[in-house]
Amino acid sequence: MRYPLSFAQQQLWDRSRVAPGDPAAHLARAWWLEGVLDPVALQRAVDVVVTRHPVLRSTFDGAEQVVDDAGRVVVDHVVAGAPEAEAVVAELAARPFDPARGPLLRSCLVEVAPDRWLFALVAHRLVLDEAALGVLLDELSAAYRRDAASLPELWMDYGDFAVWQRERLRGAELARQVDHWREPLRGASFGLALPTGGAAGTVTAVLDPVSDVAVLTGYAVVLSRYARQSDVVVGVVVDGRVRAELEPVVGPFADVVPVRLSVGGTFAELLDRVREATEDALAHDELPLAKLAEELGFDADLTARFDPRPSVAATVDLPGAVVSGRLPLPPSVEADVDLGVGRDGTLALRYRADAAFADRLLCSLVTVLEHAARAPGTPVAELPLGEGPLPVGAPPVELDVVAALRESTATVTDRAGAVPVPEVCDRAARLARVLVERGVGPGTRVGVCVGRGVGLLTALLGVWWAGGATVALEPDLPLRRLEVVARTAGLGLVVADDEHAGLAGSIAGDVAVVVPDEAAEPREPVPVPADAVAYTAFTSTPDGPAGVDVTRGALANLLAVLRRDLGLSAGDRFAAVTTTSFDLVLPELLLPAVCGADLVVVAADEAREAGRLRSLLARDAVTALHATPETWRLLVSGGGVPEGVRLRLGTGLSRELADSLTAPGVAVWRLYGHPETAVWAAAGTDGLVPVDGNRVRVLDERSVPVPVGAVGEVHVSGVGVARGGFATGDLGRWREDGSLELLGRTDRRVVVRGARVDCGEVEAVLLAHRAVRGAAVVGVPRDGGTALVAYVVPDPDARAGTDLPALLRPHLSAVLPEPGVPALVVVLPELPPTRAGLPEPDWGAARADLVPPRGPVEEEMARIWAELLRTTEPIGVHDNLFALGAGSLTAIRFASRVADTYGVNLPVHLLVATPTIAAFAGIVSAELGQAPAEDPADDPADELGEMSDEELDDLLRAVLAARDRRRSTRGDG
């Protein structure tokens, strides 16, 4: 016979395909029996039960359950000693089932002595649940007593039920039942951020008798507080036998109903809401969760379950023998955390997680319930969960940076050649004399507008020698942003190289610009205290770039700790690929030098392309590299990291990416921090642990330490934080091994290609454009990282027919660093009330009227793009390539292919500002001395006419700066 799968079986089948052989899907019980047993009679009794219930003879092919009419479950009779008996049963319980072959019920009887036995039953949940196990054992006892005639008549078997269920829950009846749940579950968070995953187990606690509703209320509080989520969905277990005639039927009927709870207010208030929500859910328990999830589009595997049914241990009753005990076996766990309530007040938490975490979670529940019983008017946010860990951290480490540099035998290499570190120090000392004569000293902020290379390190050290603090002025940043940074920092002087002296003059205004002069006499470093500012880093905020001061003591401590722990030394070669606008440029350049390792400063164009970067790393025998996650992914996808790179460091590396970088003989360091924490506050190979000199705490909204495993906001204090404790805005939790796990943000700051971007700042820039009336910016997962998507509402006075995204790109690029320019701009008539209501970005929808390639350059570029995007669809020359699905890595690969094909380097800012084949082909054609393809319908004057004078000025300066950079790359005069 063939039957359809019930909805519960369909969910179990789907799970078995994702995790075949998972023992958590097994229902296993074993009992020690004392007395006389007849193995033949026991086999006969099992035959009777299996014959009565066809589901026990079923196999599964996905769409159907197939009943084997001649199917049989053999009770293996084994003679063995007690230790061997337990091993036999443990193997039986753990042995994987094959749903396609069966049987899905196993049994064995181990004869330890003539009067001592171990009897075991193991089933897959596709055919049995706990309630059905009780039915099976009752019938087994009756059949063993040869009393099968007393068993109730079955009006249907489980296959008949599956047919009935499928027929009933469709059409109008299905729509009626689903409609009840639409509003209660709209926008619900069905998952919980708990540290789950791992071996299954059970932990118990005894509590004074309390109502099931009170236990569920306390459970919701603990889940909410541990996951830092006020919106909690708990699956409440129901029997699932919706008709009386199903009571004696064996099969997997048990199901759960989702109970959505808004955790807040006092415990007493929450208790009333829980009671109301639970009663409503239980009154609508016929619709299986799997079918409801399918109709409403959510994952039916809920994180948390609650079983309010009194847990009675089903047991076997065989005449002539008595049960003397149960053999503990791994529990069958259907949720990450599954709380059951016993008749005597025992709480049993089954889990798939670390045992210590599960025990702590249950202890927190007992603490909450005991406190709530005494003071039900306590706000749930103030109910104690138990003691949190003390702040973690070790004392700071001292380092004389100047002495370490002077004693270094390392060299610094750039495109111009190699220079020993002592010579770099000599050049810095000469520059320091000039700076001191110009009035630089402790407290003076000095802008550094120098290209990547030896000159950059010289300028940074020269300011350090003079006692001043550096402010990086990255030449590739938009001019307006550089002007804001210079003005905000209150610069006393600007140091520039010959190439960027003109740009520095535009930025500095009335502030003098100094170009290093090697003719000056060197001088000794100006003595300054440890709390003097070493550099000021600028970070994105809703109000624009804001400066963060990092002290010399904090920087020296960081360098000392890393020099001690990384194993970086003479003989190593460290490649620096970070742009100068990043807050970690100074420690990245200084770290190799103080460790005695050679430093290779990689040019920006080489760092952006996998092939060129891999070649450089191999050619220069690089052994150590620090990079952003995007650069590491670029290397991995572009042929892999060269084997010689034995020390691999990354800020913001996920555990998965770190694992992909691991290889024999390779050390992968994950780094974490902010400008406010002197770059890195935590680091490690196995997990993030605080850098010496820093103390890290994880606190709740009331600034109270949370238990290990609970989510809170990461706070850092110590030598790396200038002004007391720093609330990082990062969500995290302590792991059982003492390391820190990061989980997200409390605010709207995201990391795009290694740079921190505040979505509020991007929104402010958008709203400053006269064509925009409303704006919302969010970060979304894309291309292995994060991409910005801007949703804009056009101003009613904007000219009809304006291509608003095209109009906004140059406006954004003129103000924001490249990572802050949204990859996609979506135009909406109105913004929804909350950001959760924003539509999903459609990366393939935003296309201009397709204009095919009009010449060999455009044709080749279209071919490259199609290959990178893995598409056979036509690509128009005016299509926004980010909107078609390109991410940052794809754009960089495209630029690399263009450079290989035509020898032309596409400016990075144009990759973002004008991401079209027409724009790129125009640049290439101009470089090759060819006339670009003409498009009368696409007149640039239309877009230029929409720009303000200030925007036109910014665009012109950007174009001129791009021209100068291209000339510099080619070596033109």
| DSSP tag of 675 | G
**515 and 368, same structural domain?**
no
Q: Which of residues 500 and 799 earns the better pLDDT score?
A: 500
Whether 732 and 796 map to the same domain: the answer is no
Enter the pTM of the model.
Answer: 0.83
pLDDT band with cut points at 50, 70 and 90 for residue 959? very low
CATH number at residue 132: 3.30.559.10
Q: Rounded to whole angstroms, how far apart are CA atoms 554 and 533? A: 9
Q: Please compute, for residue 399, the number of CA atoms within 13 A of its CA located in the half-sphere on the CB side.
A: 27
| Same domain as 814, residue 766 | yes
Residues 500 and 354 in one domain: no
Q: Is the pLDDT of residue 581 over 80?
A: no
Report the mean per-residue pLDDT for the chain.
88
* Residue 555 forms part of a structural domain: yes
How sure is the predictor about 672, in pLDDT bands with cuts at 50, 70 and 90?
very high
Residue 118 pairs in a beta bridge with 32, 110
- pLDDT at residue 484, as a whole number: 93
**Model pLDDT, residue 851:** 79
Q: Could you report the per-residue pLDDT of 635-666, keeping only the tens digit for each? A: 888 788 999 999 999 988 888 899 999 999 99
Residue 935 has pLDDT above 70, yes or no: no
Q: Are 621 and 573 within 8 A, CB to CB?
A: yes
Tell me which of 92 and 719 has the higher pLDDT. Answer: 92
Higher per-residue confidence, 678 vs 779: 779
Burial class (CB in 10 A: 0-12, 13-18, 19+), 972: exposed
Q: Residues 23-69: pLDDT tens digits?
A: 888 999 999 999 999 999 999 999 999 999 999 999 998 789 999 98
Angle at 812 between CA 808 and CA 814, to 5 degrees: 120
Contact 795, 770 (CB under 8 A): yes
Interval 204-219 mean pLDDT: 92
Task: Report residue 4: phi and psi, to 5°.
Answer: -70, 160
Percentage of residues in the chain having pLDDT higher than 90: 61
Largest distance between two CA atoms of the chain: 111
pLDDT at residue 580 tops 80: no
Q: Write down the pLDDT at residue 252.
A: 95
| Domain final residue pick, 778, 803, 837 | 837
What is the CATH number for 820? Answer: 3.30.300.30
User: Minimal CA–CA distance to 132: which of 268, 310, 314, 375?
Assistant: 314
Confidence at 939, pLDDT banded by 50, 70, 90: very low
Q: Where are the alpha helices (DSSP H) in 438-571?
A: 454-465, 479-489, 501-508, 552-565
Alpha helices (runs of H) in 190-302, residue ranges in sequence order: 212-227, 267-282, 289-296
For residues 443 and 536, the answer to whether their CB atoms sit within 8 Å is: no
- pLDDT tens across 173-198, in order? 999 999 999 999 998 989 999 999 88
CA distances to 193, 195, 361, 654, 779 from 744, rounded to whole Å, are: 11, 14, 22, 12, 12
* Residues 386 and 700: beta-carbon distance below 8 Å: no
Domain count, the chain: 5
The secondary structure element, H or E, covering residue 967 is: helix 949-970
Quickly state the pLDDT bin for 544 (edges 50, 70, 90). Answer: very high
Contacts of 141 (CB under 8 A, 6+ apart): 45, 316, 317, 318
pLDDT digits (tens, 9 = 90+) for 692-714: 999 999 999 999 999 999 999 99
Least confident of 65-74, 154-163, 629-638: 629-638
The average pLDDT across 455-484 equals 92
Q: Enter the tokens of residue 614.
A: 């891999």
Instruction: Answer yes or no: do 354 and 447 share one domain.
Output: no
Calculate Rg over the CA atoms of the chain.
Answer: 34
760 and 734 within one domain: no
Q: Is position 188 within any domain?
A: yes
State how beta strands 445-449 and 493-496 pair: parallel
Domain CATH for 903: 1.10.1200.10
- pLDDT value of residue 187: 86
State residue 968's pLDDT score. Answer: 44
CB–CB of 411/597 below 8 Å?
A: no
- Residue 960 maps to a domain: no
Is residue 54 within 8 Å of residue 159, measured between CB atoms?
yes
Whether residues 686 and 762 share a domain: the answer is no
Average pLDDT over residues 358-380: 96
Instruction: Compute the distance between CA of residue 651 and CA of residue 751 in angstroms, rounded to an integer.
Output: 11
Q: Please tell me whether residues 376 and 507 are part of one structural domain.
A: no
CATH of the domain at 332: 3.30.559.30
Q: How far from the centroid of its chain's Cα atoms is residue 673's Cα?
A: 16
Which position has the higher pLDDT, 946 or 528? 528
- Report whether 357 contacts 327 (CB < 8 A): no
- Does residue 937 have a pLDDT over 50? no
Q: 193, 229 in Cβ contact below 8 A?
A: yes
- What per-residue confidence (pLDDT) applies to 563? 94
Q: What is the pLDDT of residue 312?
A: 58
- Tell me if 969 is assigned to some domain: no
828 with 873, same domain: the answer is no
- Residue 950: what pLDDT? 57
What sign does the CA torsion over 60, 65, 66, 70 have?
Answer: positive
Contact assessment for residue 675 and residue 548, using Cβ atoms and an 8 Å cutoff: yes
For position 71, what pLDDT does the model report? Answer: 86
Beta strands in 18-73 (DSSP E): 26-35, 58-60, 64-67
Q: What mean pLDDT comes out for the span 405-421?
A: 93
The pLDDT confidence band at residue 963, using thresholds 50, 70 and 90, is very low
CA distance 775 to 373: 48
Band of residue 605 on the pLDDT scale cut at 50, 70, 90: confident
- Determine the average pLDDT of the residues in 897-905: 84
Task: Map tokens 């061997």 to a residue.
Answer: 84
Q: Please, which residues have CB within 8 angstroms of residue 236's CB and are 6 or more apart in sequence?
A: 216, 256, 257, 258, 259, 278, 281, 282, 305, 306, 307, 308
Query: Cis ω on the peptide bond leading into residue 805 (within 30° of 0)?
Result: no
Domain that holds residue 88: 2-161
935 in a domain, yes or no? Answer: no
- Mapped onto helix, strand or coil, the DSSP state of residue 437 is helix
In the numeric block, which tokens belong to residue 245?
């005639």
Are residues 661 and 517 both part of a single domain? yes
Q: Can you say how many angstroms the Cα of residue 120 is from the centroid of all Cα atoms in its chain?
A: 43
**Cα distances (Å, whole numbers) of residue 263 to 271, 365, 915:** 10, 15, 46
The alpha carbon of residue 971 and the mean position of all alpha carbons in its chain are separated, in whole angstroms, by 43
pLDDT tier, 972 (very low <50, low <70, confident <90, very high otherwise): very low
Query: Within 10 A of 970 (CB to CB), how many other CB atoms are there?
Result: 11
Identify the three-state secondary structure at position 200.
Answer: strand
Domain assignment present for residue 216? The answer is yes
Residue corresponding to tokens 């009846």: 173
Which are the contacts of 272, defined by CB distance < 8 A and separation ≥ 6? none
- Which domain CATH number covers 640? 3.40.50.12780
Q: Which helix (H) or strand (E) holds 203?
A: strand 196-206
Distance CA 23, CA 21 (A): 6
Neighbours of 457 (CB within 10 A): 28
Q: 257: how many CB neighbours lie within 10 A of its CB?
A: 22
> Which helix (H) or strand (E) segment is 185 a member of?
helix 171-185
Model confidence at 883, pLDDT cuts 50, 70, 90, reads: low
What is the number of alpha carbons within 13 Å of residue 479 lying toward its C-beta? 23
Final residue belonging to a domain, choices 161, 193, 213:
161
Looking at residue 14, what is its pLDDT? 87
Q: What is the DSSP string of 134-178?
A: HHHHHHHHHHHTT-GGGSPPPS--HHHHHHHHHHHSSHHHHHHHH
Give domain status of residue 311, yes or no. yes
Q: What is the DSSP secondary structure assignment for residue 567, as one 8-state letter?
A: -
Which one, of 616, 220, 145, 599, lies nearest residue 408 by Cα? 599
C-alpha distances in angstroms, 308 versus 209, 214, 272, 380, 859?
13, 11, 17, 22, 67
pLDDT of 299-308, one tens digit each?
Answer: 888 999 999 8
Q: Is residue 288 part of a domain?
A: yes
Residues 541-564, mean pLDDT to the nearest whole number: 92
Confidence of residue 931 (pLDDT cuts 50, 70, 90): low
352 with 409, same domain: the answer is no
Whole-Å CA distances, 2 to 66, 104, 173: 5, 16, 25
pLDDT of residue 878: 79
Judged by phi (left if over 0) then psi (alpha if -120 to 50, else beta), residue 386 lies in left
First to last CA, the chain: 86
**Does residue 662 or residue 394 have the better pLDDT?**
662
Percent residues over pLDDT 70 in the chain = 91
Distance between CA atoms of residues 71 and 52, nearest Å: 12
Parallel, antiparallel, or unpaired: how do β-strands 304-307 and 785-794 relate? Answer: unpaired
Residues 264 and 406 in one domain: no
Residue 347: both structure tokens together? 């709480």
pLDDT tier, 338 (very low <50, low <70, confident <90, very high otherwise) = very high
Tokens matching residue 463? 């300011």
